[in-house]
Chain A
Amino acid sequence: MNTAHELVEQAVGDHRHHNVPPRIREIVDRHHQTLLGLANALIAAGRDEDEVVQIIQKASESFSIKLRTETESLSS
């Protein structure tokens, strides 16, 4: 059985951000902690792993797109 951490990695593995400006780093870290918290809460509520991964993916998708746009605009 996978841990919440592994499920979050599985869900957002392609969306991890590096070289993020400092003022956004804190938000990114909190976002990641929230995804872990959400995964834990879903597991505790008895949701199966596939469903957890799917929910985490959807929950993080817009954030990742917006973050990428924002990071690009700040570095330009």
Chain B
Amino acid sequence: MNAVCELNHFAKAKFDEPGRQRALDRLKVVDSQAEPPFERIVDLVKTTLNAPICAVTLVDNDRQWFKAFRGLNVDQTPRDVAFCDHAIRAEAPFIVEDATKDARFANNPLVLFEPHIRAYLGIPLKMPDGYIVGTLCVIYQEPKAFSEHEIAILQNFANLVVGELELRTMAFTDGLTNLLSRKAWRDRVEVEIDRAARYTNAGAILLLDLDHFKSINDTYGHDVGDLVLRKTAEIVNAVLRKHDIVGRLGGEEFAVCVANAPASVGLAVAERLRGQIAALAFPDHPGLSCSASIGVAAFEPGATVDALLKQADEALYEAKRMGRNQVRMGESAALPSWTD
């Protein structure tokens, strides 16, 4: 391993595409808005390395998407023409000094047409779990040999990008369960409700509260209480679809937004969650069992996230009152529901 590679903080790399894609999905960064830290880094890289084109690239299923970029007219390209896809597979700084003389790239549309790539340097963005989610790259429209110093400079900027991605993730993630924090969940659900209103899509909010959680903590200790919360989060993640939104609102309370589905689907999801949580087994803690009560509220025209949460909370209260370990649908407001 050369000196440049050693500059990367995380020595262990894995090229496991499904795992890599999941690692990227966990960051919840693809298709997000522009953010100052990444904008600042591409500005600095562009100036410091005198590069006409620079990008923080995330390699998604079938495309490369640019989180921040300078000198490009598009924010994504198909993955099969992406130089950055070669860089993430190389798992080391990837250098092309003259694409027109390189058989892999001479006929690439990004070489033949805009942005007329001639020289490329891409540094893989390797996350602490070892997965490479994209690159920080510079592109020149003339042939260029890259010095060790230039590679080292870009490698360190890439490490800064990784730190920014980590911090960004931490800001919206609950540390115990890795679900969205309350604020992040609300922000994302507000966007989903707006989208549903525009396209008259249906949807539902589920509010889930573990039953008798205090007594689990009191009887078995907080470590076991934390284990129950983590197991609950695993179940919720396993049951939900990729585009559903799940968060831990606090304590033993979780919330789910079942997107683009009628209330009947929301109820069915809630029932599956309830059943699977009730079936949780804890072999190391004999006698321990848990259950959840769930309130469901269907999207309604004009309803805010607060109104839907209130409605789901009332249904949750009713589920608790009726004996716990059950699902209840919230009382709809006077307005008609969109679809069901």
Please determine whether B163 and A34 come into contact, CB atoms closer than 8 angstroms. yes
Q: Across the interface, which residues of B come within 8 angstroms of A24, CB to CB? A: 167, 170
Asked whether A19 is an interface residue with its Cβ less than 8 Å from the other chain, the reply is no
Q: Which of B36, B155, B159 contacts A30 (CB 8 A)?
A: B159
Known pairs A58-B40, A62-B40; list 19 more (Cβ under 8 Å). Answer: A30-B159, A30-B163, A31-B160, A33-B9, A34-B9, A34-B159, A37-B7, A37-B159, A38-B153, A45-B150, A46-B149, A59-B40, A59-B44, A59-B157, A59-B160, A63-B167, A66-B164, A66-B168, A70-B171
Asked whether A23 is an interface residue with its Cβ less than 8 Å from the other chain, the reply is yes
Q: Across the interface, which residues of A come within 8 angstroms of B44, CB to CB? A: 55, 58-59
- What CA separation (Å) do A10 and B168 show in the bound complex? 26
Asked whether B73 is an interface residue with its Cβ less than 8 Å from the other chain, the reply is no
8 pairs, CB–CB < 8 Å, chain A vs chain B = A23-B175, A31-B160, A31-B163, A38-B160, A41-B153, A42-B153, A66-B37, A67-B167
Q: Which of B152, B164, B170 contacts A63 (CB 8 A)?
A: B164
Q: Which of A34, A42, A45 contacts B160 (CB 8 A)?
A: A34
Q: Across the interface, which residues of B come within 8 angstroms of A73, CB to CB? A: 171
The size bracket of the interface on B is 20 to 34
- What CA separation (Å) do A69 and B149 show in the bound complex? 34
Q: Across the interface, which residues of B come within 8 angstroms of A40, CB to CB? A: 152
Please determine whether A70 and B167 come into contact, CB atoms closer than 8 angstroms. yes
Minimum Cβ distance to chain B for residue A46 (Å): 8
Please determine whether B9 and A30 come into contact, CB atoms closer than 8 angstroms. yes
Which residue numbers of B lie inside 8 Å of A, CB to CB?
7, 9, 36-37, 40-41, 43-44, 48, 147, 149-150, 152-153, 155-157, 159-160, 163-164, 166-168, 170-171, 175
Q: Which of A38, A62, A70 contacts B157 (CB 8 A)?
A: A38
Minimum Cβ distance to chain A for residue B172 (Å): 10
Asked whether A44 is an interface residue with its Cβ less than 8 Å from the other chain, the reply is yes
- What CA separation (Å) do A66 and B149 show in the bound complex? 29
Q: Across the interface, which residues of B come within 8 angstroms of A55, CB to CB? A: 44, 48
Q: Across the interface, which residues of A come within 8 angstroms of B40, CB to CB? A: 58-59, 61-62
Minimum Cβ distance to chain A for residue B76 (Å): 24
Please determine whether B167 and A37 come into contact, CB atoms closer than 8 angstroms. no
Total chain A interface residues with beta-carbon distance under 8 A = 27
- What CA separation (Å) do A66 and B163 show in the bound complex? 11
Please determine whether A23 and B170 come into contact, CB atoms closer than 8 angstroms. yes
Interface centre among A41, A58, A73 (most CB of B within 10 A): A41
Q: Across the interface, which residues of B come within 8 angstroms of A27, CB to CB? A: 163, 166-167, 170
Minimum Cβ distance to chain A for residue B289 (Å): 30
Minimum Cβ distance to chain A for residue B6 (Å): 10
Q: Across the interface, which residues of A come within 8 angstroms of B164, CB to CB? A: 62-63, 66
Interface centre among B152, B159, B160, B166 (most CB of A within 10 A): B160
Minimum Cβ distance to chain B for residue A55 (Å): 6
Minimum Cβ distance to chain B for residue A42 (Å): 6
When C-beta atoms are compared, the residue in chain A nearest to B154 turns out to be A41
- What CA separation (Å) do A58 and B41 show in the bound complex? 8
A12-32 vs B: 1/0 string, CB under 8 Å?
A: 000000000001100100110
- What CA separation (Å) do A61 and B39 show in the bound complex? 12
- What CA separation (Å) do A66 and B152 show in the bound complex? 26
Q: Across the interface, which residues of A come within 8 angstroms of B152, CB to CB? A: 37, 40-41, 44-45
Q: Across the interface, which residues of A come within 8 angstroms of B167, CB to CB? A: 24, 27, 63, 66-67, 70
When C-beta atoms are compared, the residue in chain B nearest to A41 turns out to be B152
Please determine whether B159 and A63 come into contact, CB atoms closer than 8 angstroms. no
- What CA separation (Å) do A41 and B156 show in the bound complex? 8
Minimum Cβ distance to chain B for residue A70 (Å): 5
Q: Which of B150, B156, B166 contacts A37 (CB 8 A)?
A: B156
A48-76 vs B: 1/0 string, CB under 8 Å?
A: 00000001001101110011011001000
Minimum Cβ distance to chain A for residue B186 (Å): 14
